[in-house]
Amino acid sequence: MLLEPMFPPQEFCRQLGLRPGQRVLDVGCGSGGSAFFMSRLYGVHVHGVDISSNMIDLAVQRQTHLRRAQRKRLQFEMRDILDADYGDCSFDVIYSRNSVLHITNKEELFAKLYRWLKPSGTLFVTDYCLGPAPTSRPFADYMAKSSMSLVTVRDYGRVVTRAGFSLIARDLGNEFDRIQQNELDAFIPTQEAFAQEYSQEEFEGMVTVATNKLTWIRTRQLTWASFVGRKL
Ligand SMILES: C[S@@+](CC[C@H](N)C(=O)[O-])C[C@H]1O[C@@H](n2cnc3c(N)ncnc32)[C@H](O)[C@@H]1O
């Protein structure tokens, strides 16, 4: 996963106006990077949910090394978000980074997120989206292989709005290009060490995926977007 963009949470969290004691839901939290960051820096309680047991195990392992006060503000749950039910108006902020792309039934998901958010609460999502150009066969094959269910920024925005949120959507395609290129540039010099720890074949496979992604971004087949919603 070295080539997955890091998309550091700092920049995004600044926009959220997080306050100590607030409750945040992190949908598709992975190994908990954003959850640890938010709970440490802003004193919020974060409930991270992820369908992958490996990711949740990693998050829980990391959690054991924290000081008690921060540890108590974090909770990790292994579950398909579509099977979860947290009750109406449970969270001040619902946050999700590059995870909804794996969920086909986005209508059902955003209807649930709307219910779980408190009135005046904030939804913050970043995600991969289809760009305006037609999808090539290799890109379609990659999406199918990676269980990605992508829609355009416009269609994504429609789903979120239909769930009831007021919404600001931003296409971050240029940012995506820059981050992916930086990640690839940083990865190439690790070839020898990487090939020793894993294999040369894996190294080449990862470089191919990253190079293809850049091609799809530059030919406007693939983009990245942020969606900031409010429950009025
Ligand atoms: C690309 S990773 C992003 C992880 C994390 N948000 C980050 O930014 O590092 C996508 C995550 O979504 C999780 N995921 C996919 N489908 C899910 C579902 N239906 N319910 C919960 N998590 C899901 C995956 O297991 C994976 O950890």
The residue to mutate among 13, 38, 51, having the most atoms of ligand 1 within 8 angstroms of its beta carbon, is: 51
* Band (22; pLDDT cuts 50, 70, 90): very high
* Strand order across the beta sheet in which 222-230 lies: 74-78, 45-50, 23-27, 91-97, 117-130, 222-230, 166-171
Sorting pLDDT into bands at 50, 70 and 90, what band is 7?
low
Whether 4 has a pLDDT exceeding 50, the answer reads no
pLDDT of residue 10: 76
Substitution candidate for ligand 1 out of 102, 129, 213 with most atoms within 8 A of CB: 102
Q: 213 C-alpha to center of ligand 1: Å?
A: 19
Residue 229 is predicted with a pLDDT of 96
Residue of 104, 135, 124, 100 lying closest to 217 (CA atoms) = 135
CA–centroid distance, 120 to ligand 1, in Å, is 26
- Is 3:205 a contact under the CB 8 Å cutoff? no
What pLDDT does 12 receive? 80
Q: What is the per-residue pLDDT across 167-201, written as a single tens digit (0 to 9) for each?
A: 999 999 999 999 999 999 999 999 999 999 999 99
Smallest Cα–Cα separation from 55: which of 38, 39, 34, 85?
Answer: 34
Structural domains of the chain in order of their starting residue, each with its CATH number:
9-129+149-175+224-230 (3.40.50.150)
pTM of the entire predicted model: 0.94
Between CA 129 and CA 100 the distance in angstroms is 10
Which atom of ligand 1 approaches the CA of 33 most closely? 9
Q: Atom 14 (ligand 1): residue with closest C-alpha?
A: 28
Interval between CA 21 and ligand 1 midpoint (Å)? 25
The DSSP secondary structure of 21-52, one letter per residue, reads T-EEEEET-TTSHHHHHHHHHH--EEEEEES-
| Residue reference for tokens 């829609």 | 151
Q: Report helix angle 137-145 to 200-218, nearest 10.
A: 120
Q: Which residues line ligand 1 (CB under 6 A)?
A: 28-30, 33, 49-52, 55, 80-82, 97-99, 102-103
Does an H or E element contain 224, and which?
strand 222-230
